[in-house]
Amino acid sequence: MKYKRILLKLSGEALMGERAYGIDPKRLAEYAQEIKKIHDKNIEIAIVIGGGNIFRGVAGASNGMDRVQGDYMGMLATVINGMALQGALEEAGMPTRLQTALKIEAIAEPYIKRKATRHLEKGRVVIFGAGTGNPYFTTDTAAVLRGVEVSADVILKGTRVDGIYNADPEKDANAVKYDTITFGDVIAKGLNVMDSTAFTLSQENKLPIIVFDMNIEGNLLKICEGLNIGTTVTV
């Protein structure tokens, strides 16, 4: 395996599957099986999950809600997704821990880096909920932050597109995919697959990001084996 410890970022929207809102149990079970394939190879797995399938602070703000209030609601949405994912992973036979940036002690451990690292060493899948715990951030930034903190070898951003293109491939048929690209180019060209805060944090800490299609069976394992099937963003 190319990587010993990975940080997998899954968006909340990915959990919707074919639905328009919420969580699709079928999709959740499929993701659990994909994650199991790399867990079986003894890869240490940390996961940050988004909340866009339930609530986004920006959407709340555009409807007149206070942005900070909305962002905390978004963070809580990521905890709901984290709990759902935890259940699916345990159902698939993996030991897990959920740690949250906002304290919700009845359901999750508070985020403690040393504890998280210990869980990873013991082969537990660690899910980080509630993003960074701060409004005005995203779970992409939380993914990079936690990845840097627990010394992950790479950030794997699982999406429904197979990499980074020079234009939106869902809108432009002539869009061309990059196999590799630098952080500098991603930011300069405004290729906003992740927000720029996430990219710059990763760039400053020399932590590569791979964007890949999580919805194709076996892709996560292939990435961990070192196959270049997505787009790798490096310094």
Q: Which residues bind ligand UDP (CB under 6 A)?
A: 11-13, 50-52, 56-58, 70-71, 74-75, 77-78, 131-132, 134-135, 137-140, 142
The DSSP call for residue 209 is E
Q: Which two tokens stand for residue 124?
A: 């537990």
Smallest distance, ligand UDP to C-beta of residue 226, A: 26
Q: Which of 57, 56, 37 is nearest to 45 (CA)?
A: 37
Q: Which two tokens stand for residue 80?
A: 């709901």
Question: In Å, how far from its chain's centre is CA 5?
Answer: 14
Q: Which is nearer to ligand UDP, 71 or 162 (CB)?
A: 71
Q: Quote the CA–CA distance of 9 and 188 in Å, as a whole number.
A: 23
Q: Which is nearer to ligand UDP, 137 or 183 (CB)?
A: 137
Q: Which is nearer to ligand UDP, 78 or 203 (CB)?
A: 78
Q: Which of 3, 7, 5, 2 is nearest to 156 (CA)?
A: 7
Q: Which two tokens stand for residue 213?
A: 């299609």
Cβ proximity of 43 and 5 under 8 Å: yes
Smallest distance, ligand UDP to C-beta of residue 22, A: 12
Name the residue type at position 172.
D
Q: Which is nearer to ligand UDP, 38 or 75 (CB)?
A: 75
What angle (nearest 5°) sits at the alpha carbon of residue 90, between those of residues 1 and 31? Answer: 55
Q: Which is nearer to ligand UDP, 134 or 205 (CB)?
A: 134
